[in-house]
Amino acid sequence: MSRPSVSYYRATVDEPTLRTAADGRIAARVCVVGGGFAGLNTALGLVERGVRDVVVLEAERIGHGASGRNGGFVFGGFSRGEADLLRELGEARARTLYAGTTAAVETIRSRIDHYAIDCERVEAGVIWANWFRDPQVLRARQSLLAKHFDVDWQWLPQAQLRDLLLTRRYADALFEPSAFHFHPLKYIHGLAAGIEAQGVAIHEGAPAVAMERHGSGWLVRTPEAIIEAEHVVLACGGYLAGLRRQVDAAVLPIATYVMVTEPLGDRMGEVIRTRAAVYDTRFAFDYYRSLPDSRLLWGGRISVLDRSPEAVRRLLYRDLLKVFPQLDGIAVDYAWSGLMSYARHEMPQVGRIDEGLWIAQAFGGHGVAPTTFAGELLASAIAENDCRWQEFADYGLVSALKPAGFVGAQLSYWWLQARDAWKEWRELAIPS
Ligand SMILES: Cc1cc2nc3c(=O)[nH]c(=O)nc-3n(C[C@H](O)[C@H](O)[C@H](O)COP(=O)(O)OP(=O)(O)OC[C@H]3O[C@@H](n4cnc5c(N)ncnc54)[C@H](O)[C@@H]3O)c2cc1C
């Protein structure tokens, strides 16, 4: 592996010099804590609504967290499945929330165009490939999405799928045509440039270390600055702000892994003949996509352990060869992990938790579009008193029961992984 500790994204982005850390006493209408998608989308949403009196604090560099490390799939929906949403919220409210994410996919598209963000967008959809022979899981989801959410995922029969993905691992698949994929860190930098061009300061190396009430607003302290703000938005994902116990206690940081191979050149055609991104139907699914320079980005696994790049490479390489044994021997140039933030209810926690104090966190492994949705909701709430964020009220700050929650999450992951393995074994043992 050539650069084991750097992600492919960081290695291929033209990173500006480190932005200044905040300094002295700063007055602002809004202080956003966290420079990932949730924080930056809130800041951009504010700026687009004419609120420019905004300060963004990022402890490291923007995109340091999940937002700059993810698979780059941009698609509708949440970590929580659509059937659960329907059951918990009823049809009208479930549709409203789901539609917020598909609208967010369009918002991302239009921002890429509007701000001329060069982020290697690939408009080729996403394939959800069935690891199992039983087609029921595909049929049920396809009809549920069509019937209750007005979303059309197309059926991709096995024969057609095998022309696109040269593996015998999958049966049929569904194709989500309105989805796309991109280089998330380049997109982050484009968002930041759009925000800064409109006069908003983004500070890096500026961790918020304390927060207290100050009149009707808040004081946020960094090692070198005090920000006095009417509103504070906490958007720190699985990297936990450490500013309010109740907020941090409501999420479990869970690691997931990604690797990127050497450029495959013509060998790519031996395994993948589509530009669509792919994931599968298991609970612990693989996800992958070909990159513009003919590398393969491969991700998967969920763990409470944040493993070393070498351990990530070993694990994911095994997973890759289970699907594409033809690639045995290829080199892996990059491997990394990132932390997702999960609530026990698997839904984002979005909204106001105190006067002038807002949160956007717990987007799980499905956060690119939902963070954009959340940013829009919070920005319009702060700028225009819009109350739509209350659609998330059912999914509040429930304790993640740490540290027992970590054990529970790992056990439930192993259990669901074992259930998938059992289903696979049974299908192999019982000929169709
Ligand atoms: C490996 C991986 C693959 C994924 N793949 C996909 C995918 O393909 N598609 C998809 O939709 N979703 C995917 N996700 C999920 C998605 O990336 C996340 O849900 C989303 O990026 C979360 O954004 P966020 O802004 O909430 O958090 P983050 O991006 O984690 O940002 C939080 C930021 O807050 C900063 N911070 C923390 N504390 C402080 C503090 N006190 N002061 C200042 N700053 C602070 C951190 O440094 C960090 O930069 C993936 C996640 C991972 C980890």
- Mean pLDDT of all residues in 320-331: 96
pLDDT of residue 419: 76
- Mean pLDDT of all residues in 277-284: 93
Pocket test for ligand 1, best of 9, 18, 67, 243 (most atoms within 8 A of CB): 67
Statement: residue 3 has pLDDT above 70: no
Quickly tell me which residue has 């060869």 as its tokens.
321
The one-letter code for the residue type at 265 is G
Atom 27, ligand 1: residue with shortest CA distance = 237
For strands 357-361 and 349-354, give the pairing: antiparallel
- Mean pLDDT of all residues in 7-25: 92
Pocket test for ligand 1, best of 60, 79, 227, 236 (most atoms within 8 A of CB): 236
Weakest-pLDDT range from 45-54, 249-258, 261-270: 249-258
Q: What is the pTM of this model?
A: 0.94
Provide the token pair at 344.
């026990």
351-366 pLDDT tens trace: 999 999 999 999 999 9
For ligand 1, what atom is nearest to the CA of residue 40? 25
Weakest-pLDDT range from 55-64, 190-199, 261-270, 309-318: 309-318
pLDDT of residue 205: 96
Atom 52, ligand 1: residue with shortest CA distance = 70
C-alpha closest to that of 105 among 209, 187, 36, 23: 187
CA distances from 51 to 28, 42, 189, 200 (A): 10, 11, 20, 9
Atom 26, ligand 1: residue with shortest CA distance = 237
- Residues constituting the chain: 432
pLDDT of residue 432: 54
Vertex 234, ends 78 and 345: CA angle to 5°?
35
Is residue 350 within 8 Å of 251, Cβ to Cβ? no
- Mean pLDDT of all residues in 209-229: 96
237 CA to middle of ligand 1, Å? 5
C-alpha closest to that of 64 among 32, 36, 40, 22: 36
What is d(CA 110, CA 321) in angstroms, rounded to the nearest whole number?
Answer: 37
Statement: residue 2 has pLDDT above 60: no
171-217 pLDDT tens trace: 999 999 999 999 999 999 999 999 999 999 999 999 999 999 999 99
For ligand 1, what atom is nearest to the CA of residue 65? 30
139 CB-near residues (< 8 Å, 6+ apart): none
Largest Cα–Cα separation, the chain: 71
User: Where residue 424 falls among pLDDT bands split at 50, 70, 90?
Assistant: confident
Strand partners, 156: 173
pLDDT of residue 431: 56
24 CB-near residues (< 8 Å, 6+ apart): 224, 225, 226
278 CA to middle of ligand 1, Å? 21
For ligand 1, what atom is nearest to the CA of residue 206? 43
User: Virtual CA dihedral for 226, 230, 234, 240, nearest 10 degrees?
Assistant: 30
170 CA to middle of ligand 1, Å? 30
pLDDT of residue 264: 97
For ligand 1, what atom is nearest to the CA of residue 369? 11
Write out the DSSP string of 52-118. --EEEE-SSSTT-SGGGTS--EE-SS-SS-HHHHHHHH-HHHHHHHHHHHHHHHHHHHHHHHHTT--
* Higher-pLDDT residue of 24, 305: 24
pLDDT of residue 117: 97
Angle between helices 368-384 and 91-114 (to 10 degrees): 90
383-422 pLDDT tens trace: 999 999 999 999 988 877 767 666 777 777 777 777 777 7
115-146 pLDDT tens trace: 999 999 999 999 999 999 899 999 999 999 99
C-alpha closest to that of 112 among 186, 33, 28: 186
pLDDT cut 70: percent of the chain above it: 96
For ligand 1, what atom is nearest to the CA of residue 60? 47
Long-range contacts of the stretch 316-321 (C-beta < 8 A, 24+): 316/257, 316/258, 316/259, 317/259, 319/286, 320/286, 320/288, 320/296
User: Where residue 5 falls among pLDDT bands split at 50, 70, 90?
Assistant: low
Atom 19, ligand 1: residue with shortest CA distance = 367
Provide the token pair at 288.
């992958």
For strands 24-33 and 54-57, give the pairing: parallel
430 CA to middle of ligand 1, Å? 42
pLDDT of residue 378: 98
The one-letter code for the residue type at 207 is P
User: Where residue 73 falls among pLDDT bands split at 50, 70, 90?
Assistant: very high
Most confident of 16-20, 117-121, 281-285: 117-121
What is d(CA 132, CA 129) in angstroms, rounded to the nearest whole number?
Answer: 9
Prior bond to 403 cis, omega within 30?
yes
Lining residues, ligand 1, CB within 6 Å: 33-39, 57-60, 64-67, 69-73, 207-208, 235-239, 241-242, 256, 258, 299, 338-340, 361, 363-368, 371
Weakest-pLDDT range from 21-25, 306-310, 342-346: 306-310
103-121 burial by CB neighbour count: b if 16+ within 10 A, else e? ebbebbbebbeebebebbb
User: Where residue 430 falls among pLDDT bands split at 50, 70, 90?
Assistant: low
Statement: residue 1 has pLDDT above 50: no
Q: Give the distance from CA 285 to its chain's centroid.
A: 15
349 CA to middle of ligand 1, Å? 14
pLDDT of residue 329: 95
Atom 14, ligand 1: residue with shortest CA distance = 365
79 CA to middle of ligand 1, Å? 14
For ligand 1, what atom is nearest to the CA of residue 336? 1
Pocket test for ligand 1, best of 55, 57, 340 (most atoms within 8 A of CB): 340
77 CB-near residues (< 8 Å, 6+ apart): 98, 101, 366, 369
